[in-house]
Amino acid sequence: MIELRTPGEIDEMQVAGEFVASTLAALKERATVGVSLLELDAFAHDLIRRRGAESCYLDYAPSFGSGPFGYVLCTSVNDAVLHGKPTPYRLHDGDLLSLDFAANTNGWVADSAISVVVGTARPEDLELIALTETALDAGIAAAVVGNKIGDISYAVGSVAQAAGLSVNVEFGGHGVGRTMHGDPHIPNNGRAGRGFPLKPGLVIAIEPWFMRGTDKLRMDPDGWTLRSADGSRTAHSEHTIAITDNGPIVLTRPRR
C-alpha cells in the first residue's frame, strides 16, 4: 500500500535522514586501507546505540535474502553491489566500496547509500561512482508532483544508457516510512509517463546502482551479497526524498 505523509511527518523523517547522512559521512572517513568490514559495521552499530536509534537491517529477513541479515550496515566491495554482508575482509588500496545504511529514529526510517574509493582511485571507478550520482540527481529532479514513477525510472536509466551501461531492474528504489521497504517499487530504468502519479507526501528512496560490464547478478553463498555476474566493478548511490508541492526534499543530504 502506498502511503502519503503529512508535512509534520516529513519534518520528523528529516531527523532520521540527518542521522543516516551523518553516519555515512563518518563511515566514509573511517573506510581506510587496513580497516575491516566488520570494524565498519561495529562503528555504525555504536553510532546507532549512542543515538538511541534502531537498525533496519539487523533482524531483516525478506524473501530475497537468506535468513536475518544480522548486521547494521551493507558493505559491498568491488564487484559486489548490493546487500554485502560485513566480513573480516580488510580494505585494500584501490577498493571500490559501497556503503548502504538505514536506521529508524522515533519511529521513522531513512535510507541512503554512497560509494567511495579507498586510497588510490582508478579513473574508471570514479567515473562509475559519478554516473550513479548523476543518475540519482536526475531521478530526484524528476520527482515532482504531476510526474509519474516511470519518469524517475526513465531519468535514472537514461544516464546509464548514455554511458553505454545496461541496467538491472530487479532491485531499485522503494517507498520509505515506518519501515525501510514499502510501495512503490522504483526500477532504475523505465518508460516516462507510466506508473503511479507522484503526489505531495510521497516519501521514497531513489537508488541507482550500476555495473560496469553486465546487467546480470550472482549471489554469494552467504545468501545476501549480490555481485556483477562477470566480476566487473560496481557502484551505488541512494537518497531518501519527500515529494512536496514545492519540489523534492532530500532527507538524507549531508549537512555542508
Bind-site residues? 83, 100, 111, 174, 181, 207, 238
- The strand pairing partners of 209, in sequence order, are 236
- Alpha-carbon span 16 to 105, nearest angstrom: 5
The Cβ of residue 20 has, within 10 Å, a number of other Cβ atoms equal to 28
CA–CA dist 73, 90 (Å, integer): 16
Angle between helices 149-162 and 123-141 (to 10 degrees): 160
**Helices marked H in 31-86:** 37-51
Separation CA 179–CA 190 (nearest Å): 25
Using DSSP, state whether 125 is helix, strand or coil: helix
Instruction: Extract the annotated binding site for a divalent metal cation.
Output: 100, 111, 174, 207, 238
Gap between the Cα atoms of 56 and 20, Å rounded: 11
* ω into 184 cis (within 30 of 0): yes
Which residues sit in the known binding site for substrate? 83, 181
